[in-house]
A and B are shown apart, each in its own frame.
Chain A
Amino acid sequence: MKNKRGQEEIVGFVLIMVIVVVVLVVFLGISLRDNQATTRESTDIYQFLESMGEVTSECQIRNSEFADIAELFAKCDSNELCLNDIGSCQVLESELRVLLDSSWNVGENASIRGYKFASSYASNSDAEKEEILTLEKGTCGGNIRGASYLIPAFPGRIVNTLELCY
């Protein structure tokens, strides 16, 4: 009789322990999920990508006309040369790097630790993306803010994505 009562108590204790462990595991799961790297949409970055596309570059395309950055992505994708004998990709990469560095204060001691910029072309939504250019600086991980901006490029579109790592 005494033995049976002891067994009942052990079963009760084990049950309570199981409940406590399950609750702890659930809570731990939620906490860990919150700590994972999350990318948040940013109006600031979207506005930057939109405005950046309008900036006039050093790439001459007509007698007295220079391509803007948005046009340069399409030109770089088809490896075109500017009229002033500079490669469109070369102009794009150098101007983009300066644009990013002058617009965002990135560094080990700054609030933004790094950035990732990627530009790709897709002919339609299901098609595989064709990489045009990627630029990276600093370290990424943890809290990320980013945005994407689409530039129409018949028959598809160019997707520019910028992620800032905090």
Chain B
Amino acid sequence: MTNSFVSSSRGQMKIQQMAFVLLALMIFFAIVALFYITIRSGSLSSDVEALREEEAKEMVRKVSSWPEFAWSASDCAACIDLDKALVLMDNENYNDFWDVPFLQIEKIYPESEKKECNKQNYPDCSTMTFVKEEGFVAHSAFVALCRYDSESGSKCDLGKINLGFRSSE
């Protein structure tokens, strides 16, 4: 009687020990899994952000293929006709044409004095702003800014198109 009682309580002890070990193992694996999921989800959200950014840049780049800006002297998808852009900037018929809150062409290389372009200072200027309203998120893309030059025929500089997208807030 006493023997069976002792072996039964020892058995219970064993089961308890095993239960504790199993519990500890489960908690350990749960912590490891949580840690891993946190790290993965963190990098996923940054990946999504980066993809959105890349997509926006591709959209901005498409501006260079708009007929109003396209450089037709050579087969160049990345080129903008700066002469056309200057004419468009002063054309009142195009005031309501741009369905974006912000559109600007910016010259990067060679560096010139930071000022808005007009017929008097062109091409020694740095920016052409077509539209600028309130409340936008801007993205930019590199383009070549080409124009006709009296000395060297056609001349291309490096620039950027800055395009604003309406912010949802």
A12, B58: Cα distance in complex, Å: 59
Q: List 30 A-B contacts (CB under 8 A).
A: A27-B32, A27-B35, A34-B43, A43-B54, A43-B58, A44-B57, A44-B141, A44-B142, A47-B61, A47-B141, A50-B142, A51-B143, A51-B144, A51-B158, A52-B142, A54-B78, A54-B79, A54-B144, A54-B156, A56-B154, A56-B157, A64-B151, A66-B152, A66-B155, A68-B156, A102-B109, A102-B158, A103-B108, A103-B109, A103-B142
Q: 1/0 contact trace for A12-23 toward B, CB 8 Å? A: 100010011001
Q: 1/0 contact trace for B1-43 toward A, CB 8 Å? A: 0000000000000000000010001001100100110010001
Q: 1/0 contact trace for B58-81 toward A, CB 8 Å? A: 100100000000000000111100
A118, B58: Cα distance in complex, Å: 24
The reply to whether B36 and A27 form a contact with Cβ atoms under 8 Å apart is yes
**How many whole Å from A3's CB to the nearest CB in chain B?**
16
How big is chain A's contact interface, by range?
20 to 34
Which residue of A16, A40, A51 is within 8 Å of B142 (Cβ)?
A51
A30 interface hit (Cβ, 8 Å): yes
A residues sitting closer than 8 Å to B (CB atoms) are 12, 16, 19-20, 23, 27, 30-31, 34, 40, 42-44, 47-48, 50-52, 54-56, 64-66, 68, 98-99, 102-103
The 7 closest A-B pairs by CB, nearest first: A54-B144, A47-B142, A51-B142, A43-B54, A48-B142, A51-B78, A51-B144
- Number of A-B pairs whose CB atoms are under 8 Å? 79
Given known contacts A43-B58, A47-B141, is B36 in contact with A54 (CB within 8 Å)? Answer: no
The reply to whether A99 and B57 form a contact with Cβ atoms under 8 Å apart is no
B residues sitting closer than 8 Å to A (CB atoms) are 21, 25, 28-29, 32, 35-36, 39, 43, 50, 54, 57-58, 61, 76-79, 108-111, 141-144, 146, 151-159
Which residue of B21, B54, B141, B158 is within 8 Å of A99 (Cβ)?
B158
